[in-house]
Amino acid sequence: MNQLMRFSRLHGDSKVAPFVAILVVLTLLASMGNLLMPEDSAFYVSTYTITLLGKYLCYAMLALAVDVIWGYCGILSLGHGAFFALGGYAMGMYLMRQIGDRGVYGNPELPDFMVFLNWTELPWFWQGMDQFWFAMLMVLLVPGILAFIFGWLAFRSRVTGVYLSIMTQALTYALLLAFFRNEMGFGGNNGLTDFKDILGFDLQADTTRVTLFAITALLLAVILVVSHKILQSRMGKVIVAIRDGESRARFIGYRTERFKVWLFVYSALIAGIAGALYVPQVGIINPGEFSPLNSIEMVIWVAVGGRGTLIGAIVGALLVNFAKTKFTAIMPDGWLFALGALFVFVTLYLPQGLMGLYKKMMDKRRPDNSDSHGSDTEGKNAEPAVKGGNV
Amino acid sequence: MRRLFAILCCYVATSLTSVHADEPMTTVDADPATLTTVSPLPSDPVAEPVSVETLLQSLTEVKLSKALPVLKQLESLGGVALLPMFKGMLEGDLYFVKSSKEVVMISTIKGELTAQGVLSKQPLPGVSKNQLKKIRVNNKLRGFLRQAIARLQISHPDASKRLAAVQALLTHLSDETIATLERVRPQEQDEDVQAMIDLALALHQSDSADPAVRLAAVYVMADSLESDARNKLVKIIEHDTDPKVKAAATKALKQINEEIEFYGFIDQLFFGLSLGSVLLLAAIGLAITFGVMGVINMAHGEMIMLGAYTTYVVQLMMPNAIEYSLWVAIPLAFVVSGLVGVLIERGVIRHLHGRPLETLLATFGISLILQQLVRSVFSPLNRQVASPEWMSGTLDINPILSLTLNRLYILAFALLVFGLLLLILRKTSLGLNVRAVSQNRDMAKAMGIRTDWVDAMTFGLGSGIAGIAGVALSQLTNVGPNLGQAYIIDSFMVVVFGGVGNLWGTLVAAFSLGVANKFLEPVTGAVLASIFVLIFIILFIQKRPKGLFPQKGRAAE
């Protein structure tokens, strides 16, 4: 019975089409506001705002990636920043190669930091990164393969729950340490920065910025629709079943670890794409993106919005990051207090996030609506995945 | 211009000597008067040396380059009585009064300059700095002074002082030194000093023309780990003409190298165990909260940090009793962190029972708040916590192996805490309750155990021990807001690697990870070593998800 209700919730919640429409319209408006309006117009949107919005949308995509596995499959990854950063580094490498001889040292082959380290030739893993298609392939392949190996090892030996979370955190921590090393060939502490252009377009130009922003919004919409379809399909139902009772799903005859591995890889791919879109807009990628704090922050975006709703993840990411921008500007010291309090508050009082709150309010308004049991699923099954066991 | 140059020279000289000075040197006070004016000097300073007084007199007049013979005569005439003077000269505290040419030692007591006559041993009343002039030293003189001090100290009543004196002489064995050593050797009672003198004599004899003497010297050197003996052996192997001596030297060198390797291994092992003890201290509290209660506490690192800051605050409160501050800090840190732990348990974790992932997120939020709190209260900068006297210094086992005392104490302390915790869990009623609740919560409740209370106490205990870990860590590293974060992932690794809910597993895991890390370090570098260890654990957990020592039976489910 519980499972049934959850399915109905899953289907009822995701009003994807209207959300996509709103997203597209807003993106169009913002783009036109930047390109067509004169600067003194009330409708003018500054390039700074466009870049900021683009950054938020990348975060939203990342939150979507976390929601797909956490909200629908109960896998809490505290290492999604690693996939995000790897995608970002792949894009960053392409952008570094595009600088060519315009760097400080004017070396046509080697990026500045390699000249600085007295390297004479390009390391093997930098080969081919000057080709856009190859770099984009790497954006998908590197996080995808890492996620596959990690997921295959972890899920096959049935590492679940907090163990898995800690393992993913260790993964991103190990990568953080590794990328800080100069000898790794990724620019060490400073990372990759000082990009000039992408596919021949100047990165500082308004048109490039707006295009990047629009592409991000478009891809976010596409990924949202695709994820929604996947999770509504038969496969999606198995995935939710794994979340609610993995042993039971296994006994019925599903190879649960395979579903989990593929979903994990899919999620990592989304994170990689988000990273690749993030780097040209922000203009820098450094090992800080691997820090465990970043990865855990993503989880709170999803939790605030409401997990297992897809749209909630996007809303949460946008809201929290907007709040972060405002908050850090007004009182920089206060932000970590606020973020910490948000963690505690959401887990204690808002386990279903804003989407859950919204649904609760809608249900209250329509008490006769018989096919919605939202108000009673709320309290009882706040944590669906883990029952029993002391871990 | 000249003045500037002189200051520069003086600075270079002091910095050079302070590098290889045996004792910590006080910075030489640059007296402007001496630097700017070159005093007129008599052309032939050592004309008729009669007594110590006249020698001292000439020392004040002689040119820097001609001071060495004067000092040599002073050593032979004055003997042990002049030891303080030589030391003072080495440290640049030797002056003379301009008017009376009396040589004095100066010292600054409570910001006040006092001058004491070298011969009279009486303090000179009312001497100000501009009445004095410094007796200058250069590196050549410093070298001689060190030798002379060592030669004079050979007859010091304290055996360790004598040993250090002979050791200091090893690098440069002049004929006078050898003569002195041969003179004192028969009277020497202490075995260590005897061996050291024998080594010095052997080093000298290894230059002898007689191959038999050289051979005997090589045999003596073979038993020593002093680097001077090793260098000498290398030289003998290269240059000696006698094949017998050469063969003996090669053998001796091989033996010494093997021993060095062995002690190097011990040294690495010690560092590994030391790191292991730190990991154990950091992880043991977690082993209770995570292992026994099944609660993931991401704020565990911040409990460690709070303990470290408690130490810092205690030292601020009692600046005159740093020696005893740790004894106050340990219980206080336990109480502070424990109380915060109980608060967290009562306020947050209790409401999230049975939802481990939510607990993880909520405690992470708490860790952010605590970090920011400390940053706001104490500033984001690192704070230095002083080590008490009895914890600093080293335990010298031989010339190669010396163990730092603070690491040794922390190793012992970690084992002590571990033992105490084991006792609490095994022998007290709280321990019994904790074990009952961890094995079967519902049944324990049915038997009348107040599970709520037990949860709070367990969490408080785990957090309190983290606080104690913070006190220990403050003796090894700087105390900063990020102190805890650095250890949280490592601690989780230790607990997971050792097997959740198993304290012995935590012990084994902590020490094996610490030792593995330190043995990898020379091969791969520090960062790669920790990465390899992390990857190893990730792979290990895939193979054995329940760790090294998994819980057995129904409790494991």
Grade residue B111 by pLDDT with cuts at 50, 70 and 90. Answer: low
Interface probe, candidates B296, B343, B353, B361, chain A, greatest A C-beta count within 10 A: B361
DSSP reduced 3-state for B396: strand
Q: Which of residues 327-386 of A touch B (CB under 8 A)?
A: 333, 336-337, 339-344, 346-348, 351, 382-383, 385-386
Query: Cβ of A336 and B541 within 8 Å?
Result: no
> Which positions in chain A touch B352 (Cβ < 8 Å)?
347-348
* A25 class by beta-carbon count within 10 Å (0-12 exposed, 13-18 middle, 19+ buried): exposed
In this predicted structure, what is the pLDDT of residue B385?
85
Most confident stretch, A12-21, A371-380, B348-357: B348-357
DSSP reduced 3-state for B155: coil
Report yes or no: B352 and B367 within 8 Å, Cβ to Cβ.
no
DSSP reduced 3-state for B132: strand
Range from A145-149, B228-232, B294-298 carrying the lowest mean pLDDT: B228-232
CB atoms within 10 A of CB B110: 5
CA separation for the pair A9, B410 (Å, rounded):
56
Interface probe, candidates B293, B364, B451, chain A, greatest A C-beta count within 10 A: B364
DSSP assignment of A3-63 equals HHHHHHHHHHH--HHHHHHHHHHHHHHHHHHHHTS-TTSTT---HHHHHHHHHHHHHHHHH
Query: Cβ of B557 and A344 within 8 Å?
Result: no
- What mean pLDDT is predicted for residues A176-185? 88
Report yes or no: B261 and B400 within 8 Å, Cβ to Cβ.
no
Give tens-digit pLDDT for B415-474.
999 999 999 988 999 889 988 888 888 888 899 999 889 989 999 999 999 999 999 999
Query: Cβ of A391 and B527 within 8 Å?
Result: no
Range from A108-112, A212-216, B66-70, B79-83 carrying the lowest mean pLDDT: B79-83
In this predicted structure, what is the pLDDT of residue B110?
62
Flag whether pLDDT at B395 surpasses 60: yes
Say which residue the tokens 């009396």 belong to. Answer: B102
CA separation for the pair B82, B70 (Å, rounded):
13
What are the structure tokens assigned to B477, written together?
A: 């590293």
Range from A164-168, B70-74, B406-410 carrying the lowest mean pLDDT: B70-74
Query: Cβ of B527 and A386 within 8 Å?
Result: no
In this predicted structure, what is the pLDDT of residue A151?
92
In this predicted structure, what is the pLDDT of residue B438?
80
Grade residue A390 by pLDDT with cuts at 50, 70 and 90. Answer: very low
- According to DSSP, the residues that pair with A192 across neighbouring strands are A285
Interface probe, candidates A295, A390, A391, chain B, greatest B C-beta count within 10 A: A390
Query: Cβ of B368 and A343 within 8 Å?
Result: yes
CB atoms within 10 A of CB B125: 7
Task: Report the gap between the CA of B532 and the closest CA in chain A (Å).
Answer: 8
Query: Cβ of A344 and B358 within 8 Å?
Result: no
In this predicted structure, what is the pLDDT of residue B109?
66
CB atoms within 10 A of CB B496: 30
> Which positions in chain B touch A303 (Cβ < 8 Å)?
361
CA separation for the pair A88, A277 (Å, rounded):
7
In this predicted structure, what is the pLDDT of residue A367?
62
> Which positions in chain B touch A333 (Cβ < 8 Å)?
372, 375-376
Query: Cβ of B362 and A171 within 8 Å?
Result: no
User: Checking phi first, is residue B92 left (phi over 0); if not, alpha (psi -120 to 50) or beta?
Assistant: left
Which among A158, A340, A385 has the least Cβ separation from residue B366? A340
User: Checking phi first, is residue A296 left (phi over 0); if not, alpha (psi -120 to 50) or beta?
Assistant: alpha
What are the structure tokens assigned to B72, written together?
A: 């040599």
> Which positions in chain A touch B286 (Cβ < 8 Å)?
none
Flag whether pLDDT at B139 surpasses 50: yes
For chain A, domains (ranges, CATH) are 2-380 (1.10.3470)
Which among A177, A383, A387 has the least Cβ separation from residue B527? A177
Average pLDDT value over all residues in chain B: 79
Query: Cβ of A170 and B542 within 8 Å?
Result: no
More reliable by pLDDT, B140 or A285 = A285
- What mean pLDDT is predicted for residues A274-296? 93
Which among A174, A292, A351 has the least Cβ separation from residue B358? A351
Which among B365, B527, B534 has the least Cβ separation from residue A181? B527
Cα B411–B416–B421 angle (5° rounding)? 130
> Which positions in chain B touch A340 (Cβ < 8 Å)?
365-369, 372
Flag whether pLDDT at B287 surpasses 70: yes
Give tens-digit pLDDT for B209-234.
777 888 888 888 777 777 777 887 88
- What mean pLDDT is predicted for residues A351-377? 69
> Which positions in chain A touch B351 (Cβ < 8 Å)?
348
Which among A158, A174, A300 has the least Cβ separation from residue B534? A174
Task: Report the gap between the CA of B462 and the closest CA in chain A (Å).
Answer: 17
Q: Which of residues 265-324 of A touch B (CB under 8 A)?
A: 292, 296, 299-300, 303
CA separation for the pair A18, A8 (Å, rounded):
19
DSSP reduced 3-state for B214: helix
Query: Cβ of B542 and A166 within 8 Å?
Result: no
Of B256, B185, B171, B172, nearest to B219 (Cα)?
B256
In this predicted structure, what is the pLDDT of residue B343?
94
For chain B, domains (ranges, CATH) are 2-144 (no CATH), 158-241 (no CATH), 262-391+400-556 (1.10.3470)
Report yes or no: B366 and A341 within 8 Å, Cβ to Cβ.
no
Which among A173, A181, A333 has the least Cβ separation from residue B534? A173
> Which positions in chain A touch B527 (Cβ < 8 Å)?
177-178, 180-181
CA separation for the pair A85, A90 (Å, rounded):
9
Grade residue B204 by pLDDT with cuts at 50, 70 and 90. Answer: confident
Query: Cβ of A385 and B357 within 8 Å?
Result: yes
Give exposure, A316-336, as e/b (b: 16+ Cβ within 10 Å): bbbebbeebeebeeeeeeebb
Grade residue B143 by pLDDT with cuts at 50, 70 and 90. Answer: confident
Query: Cβ of A299 and B352 within 8 Å?
Result: no
Task: Report the gap between the CA of A33 and the closest CA in chain B (Å).
Answer: 38
Of B487, B471, B476, B481, nearest to B378 (Cα)?
B481
Flag whether pLDDT at B305 surpasses 90: yes
Helix H segments across B206-242? 211-222, 227-239
Say which residue the tokens 């990724």 belong to. Answer: A186
Q: How many CA atoms lie within 13 A of B217 on its CB side?
A: 23
B103 phi/psi in degrees, rounded to 5: -80, 130
Alpha carbon of A123 to those of A103, A109, A146, A198, B122: distances in Å? 18, 11, 20, 22, 74
Average pLDDT value over all residues in chain A: 85
What are the structure tokens assigned to B140, written together?
A: 């050549």
Give tens-digit pLDDT for B344-384.
999 999 888 878 888 888 998 999 999 999 999 988 888 88
Task: Report the gap between the CA of A379 and the closest CA in chain B (Å).
Answer: 12
Which among B362, B531, B557 has the least Cβ separation from residue A174? B531
Which residues in A144-196 belong to E strands, given as ranges?
192-193
Task: Report the gap between the CA of A115 and the closest CA in chain B (Å).
Answer: 23
What are the structure tokens assigned to B397, written together?
A: 């086992």
In this predicted structure, what is the pLDDT of residue A368?
55
Q: ipTM of this model? A: 0.80
In this predicted structure, what is the pLDDT of residue B50?
62
Which among A170, A333, A386 has the least Cβ separation from residue B493? A170
Query: Cβ of A340 and B367 within 8 Å?
Result: yes
In this predicted structure, what is the pLDDT of residue A64?
95
Of B297, B284, B553, B295, nearest to B439 (Cα)?
B553
Q: Which of residues 167-196 of A touch B (CB under 8 A)?
A: 167, 169-171, 173-174, 177-178, 180-181
CA separation for the pair A167, B392 (Å, rounded):
38
Q: Which H or E run includes B163? A: helix B159-169
State which residue of chain A sits closest to B547, comparing Cα positions.
Answer: A163
Helix H segments across B318-440? 322-347, 356-378, 405-427, 429-439
Query: Cβ of A343 and B500 within 8 Å?
Result: no
- Dihedral angle at the C-alpha atoms of A57, A63, A69, A71, nearest 10 degrees? -120
- What mean pLDDT is predicted for residues B514-518? 89
Give tens-digit pLDDT for A257-275.
999 999 999 999 999 999 9
Of B273, B543, B503, B540, nearest to A170 (Cα)?
B540
> Which positions in chain B touch A385 (Cβ < 8 Å)?
357
CA separation for the pair B137, B93 (Å, rounded):
10
Of B336, B333, B298, B313, nearest to B484 (Cα)?
B298
Report yes or no: B32 and B10 within 8 Å, Cβ to Cβ.
no
CA separation for the pair A355, A307 (Å, rounded):
8
Query: Cβ of B358 and A300 within 8 Å?
Result: no
Q: How many CA atoms lie within 13 A of B513 on its CB side?
A: 32
CB atoms within 10 A of CB B432: 15
Say which residue the tokens 């955190």 belong to. Answer: A169
CA separation for the pair B28, A56 (Å, rounded):
61
Percent with pLDDT over 90 in chain A: 46
Of A204, A299, A391, A253, nearest to B291 (Cα)?
A391
Query: Cβ of B360 and A165 within 8 Å?
Result: yes
Give tens-digit pLDDT for B521-553.
888 877 788 778 878 887 887 777 777 877 665
Report yes or no: B499 and B549 within 8 Å, Cβ to Cβ.
yes
Q: How many CA atoms lie within 13 A of A92 on its CB side?
A: 27
Report yes or no: B486 and B301 within 8 Å, Cβ to Cβ.
yes
Interface probe, candidates B295, B300, B351, B368, chain A, greatest A C-beta count within 10 A: B368
HEC sequence for A191-251: CEECCCEECCEECCCHHHHHHHHHHHHHHHHHHHHHHHHHHHCHHHHHHHHHHHCHHHHHH
In this predicted structure, what is the pLDDT of residue B280?
93
Report yes or no: A386 and B357 within 8 Å, Cβ to Cβ.
yes
Range from A371-380, B137-146, B304-313, B419-428 carrying the lowest mean pLDDT: A371-380
Query: Cβ of B360 and A167 within 8 Å?
Result: no
Give tens-digit pLDDT for B15-74.
444 444 344 433 334 444 333 333 344 444 444 546 777 777 777 777 777 777 777 777
